[in-house]
Structure formats: C-alpha cells, structure tokens
Amino acid sequence: MSWTDEKVAKLKELWGKGNTASQIAEILGGVTRNAVIGKAHRLNLSGKIIAKKGSHKQKIVKSKNLNIRKARKGRFKSLIIERNFEPENPKQLEELDDNTCKWPIGHPNEDGFYFCGRTSLKDFSYCKLHLLYAFQPKNKKEDVVDKDSEVPKFIQKKIKSA
C-alpha cells in the first residue's frame, strides 16, 4: 500500500477534525489503523485528538426538580466518622494487642513508622476509619450511588457484623 497525495490530504483533513485513527482508516479504505498513526507521526500532525468528555466525574441527575449529586462508590463521605472520633495512638509492633488497630502508617524501613493504635472494632484488626479502606466492594468500584445517601450498604454490613 502506498500513500497517494489524495490519501495524505484526506488524512490531514480527517485528523484535523479530530477523527480517530480507526475511523480514518475505515474512511480511507485499504489502510490499517497503525498505518494511519505512523503516517500522521511522520507528517508531524498534532498528537491532540479531541476526546469525548469522560463520565468518571460527578454527574448531576435531575429528578423531581431536585439536583441529586452522584459519585463513584469508591469515594466516601467525610462525615461517616463522628466529630469526637478517637485520635491516632501511635504504637510500635511490640505494643499492639487484640484491641488496637493494626493499620500501618508509613513504610517499615523508614524512621517514624508506626501502627494506628486506635481501638479496633470487634472481630476486626482495624478501627472504623481503616476498616473503610480495607474492605471495599469487589468489582463494583465504578457503580454510581447517591452521594447524599447514608453509609453504603456494604459498609453498614461490615460495621454491624463487627
């Protein structure tokens, strides 16, 4: 396959409009996506292709004339923990017992490494805060939930069972 002047001109035109390499290859015909990318690179065409705006940011959904903010499940409300939540009580490995949070803070090879030391929840090795980090839903991180709703159900189950 050789690049004719017509194909090069069409490539430049389509590339400038923001078409993807796959779309350009299909329009030109007889050309692969990689050939389009290679030719665009050799022609020093701009690497910027206009991409669709991602949906991973917060979405606003209108329902019953109310704006309900939605976010990914992986993001937690900062108000889950009470105001009078127990502060960290830094402990070394030798000081840990069954009732202390064993969440490591820092890197073991660095000075200042310690464990959280707060009171752990019953039947768990971590305090309420670190339990939220440790137990996240499997394969459901991209699901959308109400940000204004209460504590997610999977966390309520973990806390109730604690």
pLDDT digits (tens, 9 = 90+) for 91-130: 998 888 988 999 999 988 888 899 999 888 888 888 888 8
Mutual orientation of helices 33-42 and 21-28 as an angle, nearest 10°?
Answer: 100
What's the pLDDT at 9? 93
User: pLDDT band for position 44 (50/70/90)?
Assistant: confident
Extract the tokens encoding 136. 């996240």
DSSP 8-state symbol, 54: P
How many other β-carbons are positioned within 10 Å of the β-carbon of residue 14?
19
pLDDT of residue 133: 80
φ and ψ at residue 14, rounded to 5 degrees: -65, -40
* Burial of 69 from C-beta contacts in 10 A (0-12 / 13-18 / 19+): exposed
User: Is this model's pTM higher than 0.85 or not?
Assistant: no
As a whole number of angstroms, the distance between CA 141 and CA 76 comes to 12
CA distances from 92 to 33, 85, 114, 123 (A): 57, 21, 5, 21
DSSP 8-state code for residue 100:
B
How many angstroms separate the CA atoms of 150 and 40, rounded? Answer: 51
